[in-house]
Amino acid sequence: MEKKQKPQIYTVDATGQVLGRMCSSIAKILMGKTTVGYERHILSGASVNVINASKLFMTEKRKLETMHEKYSGYPGGLKYKSNAEIISKKGYAELIRLAVYNMLPPNRLRQPMMNKLKITE
């Protein structure tokens, strides 16, 4: 008989942390890889709260030169945005959300995992 796990809430402080390193640890927590009973086809009960997202460490070169692409599905519909554009329009929270989204596996559990991620500026 299986025991139900108590949902765990992790709090990550983004102050002074590098984007990629922080987001990879968040993705591992959301996938459940930090728990003992990890199974890749079962959603873990862990949720992550990220605080102080605007105090994230990022160099100017990384802000200007790193590009994110978005495809509309139509011919000629490939759009590029730099990190600086994303930060100015939607804030650091959207940048963290994009990074974590791309680090999660592309299956049916990706969206439920993303729903367990809460980011505050």
* Domain ranges, ordered by start, for the chain: 9-119
Instruction: Report how far residue 17's alpha carbon sits from residue 51's, in angstroms, rounded to the nearest whole number.
Output: 12
Q: Is the pLDDT of residue 5 over 90?
A: no
User: Domain spanning 9-119: which superfamily?
Assistant: Ribosomal protein L13 (3.90.1180.10)
Please give the average per-residue pLDDT across 92-119, as a whole number: 97
pLDDT of residue 18: 97
pLDDT of residue 3: 62
**Total-model pTM:** 0.91
Instruction: Report how far residue 92's alpha carbon sits from residue 119's, in angstroms, rounded to the nearest whole number.
Output: 9
